[in-house]
Amino acid sequence: MIFVLDTNIFQKHFSLRSSHFSIFKDYLARTNSQVWFPKVIFEEIRSNYQRELRKRTKDLSRAKGHLDSALINPLEPFREINFQDETENYLAYIQAFLSTPESHIIEYRPEYLEDVIMRSIERRKPCSERGEEIRDALIWVMIKDIAKDRGDKTVTFISDNTKEFGSSEGALHPDLEAEAQSEGISVRYFTSLEEFARQHATQIEFINEAWITSSINYDHLLSRLKDGLETRVYSKVTNQIPSEIMPTGHIYLSGDLEDLDIEDFFVYEMQDGSYRVDVELKGEVEFEVELAKFSQEEEYDPSTGVYSTSASLPLTLPFTLGVTPDIRIELIYPEIELQISLDVQEQDIVDYEIFDISIYLSRVW
């Protein structure tokens, strides 16, 4: 089987060390499948990776400068990064990880130009109604060429660019499906490595909802998630409360992750006999948040700088002189959705990967 992975699949996990890449690599070895690259995808990975390196280097330098300004002895300078060399090393790493030789990076052909231009003019998929998405059109015609050169005339394409390639049901767009069939080829389409893994899931008798619930170490999950969840919930509180209310900075995850329900899960059996279990957890979790509501009802004596209020401020608040804060603790219950992957060996969970967190928060005051 031949696979083509779009650029966006690599951008989600530059290191390729996610559980879904592990499953995908296992499947390649199990089925003797291969990954081929239209050159446009390979070149885009090159450009995006180098751009991301430059951005993260700039962010790191800014953070280091901010930290150094508070240190008596500033940190040692970081090593100089050769962006060109690091990018070439990364591309070589991708090829080695996926066992993709240079011969599987497909070069451009002169005849692609006319096809892509006509698609844009005629507004044919994967071009948009405005004749845009030339890159996607080029990927599509190169995928067709790869399929035509194969004995089974089939390519599996994984891309989360559903707007240009997909249908509302998540399948290949009907126009592209009809085009492929008319040319005697088949393009199997998946929107993510996760969806691909789900489609190739295995039913394992002992791995059921009860086993997952009893086997997950929720204290371990909490230790890894607590700070991040508190920060993200605090940000949502700050963004949605009215202007006369201000969070003081205090937030505490007072609930329990065991309150989350298992919405869905699937299992993939690896070649070495271990399992990867993707689990979706969902539910409300209790947080304590301290809020200050301001009013002009109390008097302020500017000669003494004293408020006629008994409120004690746990933190320094940037409130206007003469305004009294009414401070209270509110319990809030945001809905948390966690996507986690479990590495299961000999019926024990030996590792956890948290690959997605969603938070939904209703009114808090």
At residue 295, the pLDDT reads 61
Region(s) of the chain under CATH 3.40.50.1010: 2-199
At residue 151, the pLDDT reads 85
The tokens for 106 are 């497909």
At residue 154, the pLDDT reads 94
**What is the arithmetic mean of pLDDT over 328-353?**
92
**Is the CB of residue 137 less than 8 Å from the CB of residue 120?**
yes
What fold characterizes domain 2-199?
A: Rossmann fold (3.40.50)
Phi, psi of 280 (to 5 degrees): -105, 120
For residues 169 and 150, what is the distance between their CA atoms, to the nearest angstrom? 28
At residue 51, the pLDDT reads 96
**What is the arithmetic mean of pLDDT over 130-134?**
75
At residue 294, the pLDDT reads 67
| DSSP one-letter code for 81 | P
Query: Facing residues of 357 across strands?
Result: 338
For residues 40 and 232, what is the distance between their CA atoms, to the nearest angstrom? 37
Provide the whole-model pTM.
0.78
On the question of pLDDT at 25 being above 50, the answer is yes
Residue, of 322 and 339, whose pLDDT is higher: 339
The tokens for 47 are 């450009």
At residue 120, the pLDDT reads 87
At residue 304, the pLDDT reads 60
At residue 315, the pLDDT reads 39
Instruction: Name the least confident of 66-75, 270-279, 301-310.
Output: 301-310
The tokens for 90 are 């990364």
| DSSP one-letter code for 74 | P
Mean pLDDT of the chain: 88
Phi, psi of 226 (to 5 degrees): -55, -55
DSSP string of 142-153, one letter each residue: HHHHHHHTSTT-
At residue 321, the pLDDT reads 47
The confidence band for 167, taking pLDDT boundaries of 50, 70 and 90, is confident
Share of the chain above pLDDT 90, in %: 65
At residue 253, the pLDDT reads 94
Note the pLDDT tens digit of each residue in 280-323: 999 999 999 998 876 655 554 556 655 454 444 433 444 444 55
Query: Facing residues of 284 across strands?
Result: 335
Phi, psi of 310 (to 5 degrees): -95, 0
Most confident of 81-90, 118-127, 198-207: 81-90
For residues 216 and 214, what is the distance between their CA atoms, to the nearest angstrom? 6
Note the pLDDT tens digit of each residue in 89-126: 999 999 999 999 999 999 999 988 988 888 888 888 88
Phi, psi of 332 (to 5 degrees): -125, 155
At residue 303, the pLDDT reads 63
Q: Beta strand pairing status for 154-158 and 2-5?
A: parallel
Q: Is 249 left (phi over 0), alpha (psi -120 to 50) or beta?
A: left
On the question of pLDDT at 55 being above 80, the answer is yes
SS3 at position 242: coil
